[in-house]
Amino acid sequence: MASWNRVTPYGEIVVSGLRGRWMGNRGCIHRGREIVRPWNGKRWIICALEFKGWVAPKWAPGRWTALFFTDEALAFSAGHRPCALCRRAAYERYRDALGLDGADAIDARLHAERLDGRRKRVHALPWRELPAGTFADLDGTPHVVLHDRLRRWSAQTGYDAERGRPARGDARVLTPPASIEVIRSGYDLQVG
């Protein structure tokens, strides 16, 4: 049965039958099996589904809410970053690419870049400057950039139709600039 704990490239939490390849959290944001707020704090992380044999409890009262992402590119787009515990090497690559000192500094920067009040912050950047793995909104639908192509994403089907990448103009970028900077530094981002 699909649960209300899947995240879209816009950072929204939805019901979807898609399998999550990564787990993450934004603090305790549920009551029972209902999401009651979009986040609780600035620490939005991406975790491994399992760490040293431990699997996080789901919907535990008073515990952080387990959220799921279809891939790491989507998690970056939503505004999350690698966990410093279960994904230590990825976290260190992310931190070092930004030149920031610790999780609090990273989380403060990401929080400012991912939200415009309580809504998703969208950034304008030239299409030609977007690295593969970046998400952009095209005609009201999220698309991941794949070098010279774009692939549409939906909560019902995941990735589906491809189209050519625009050669000119600005994109409505969903991925926060900090994560784009990390991708450009050579971070090995899992897409699809």
Q: pLDDT (tens digit, 9 = 90+) per residue, 146-182?
A: 989 999 999 999 999 999 999 999 999 999 999 999 9
Any residues with CB less than 8 A from the CB of 181 and at least 6 apart, and which? 97, 98
The burial class, CB within 10 Å (0-12 / 13-18 / 19+), for 46 is buried
pTM, two decimals, is: 0.95
Identify the CA nearest to 61 among candidates 38, 26, 32, 22: 32
SS3 39: coil
Q: Provide the b/e sequence for 57-69 (b: ≥16 CB within 10 Å).
A: eeeeeeebbbbbb
For the chain, the average pLDDT equals 95
pLDDT over 70 at 1, yes or no? no
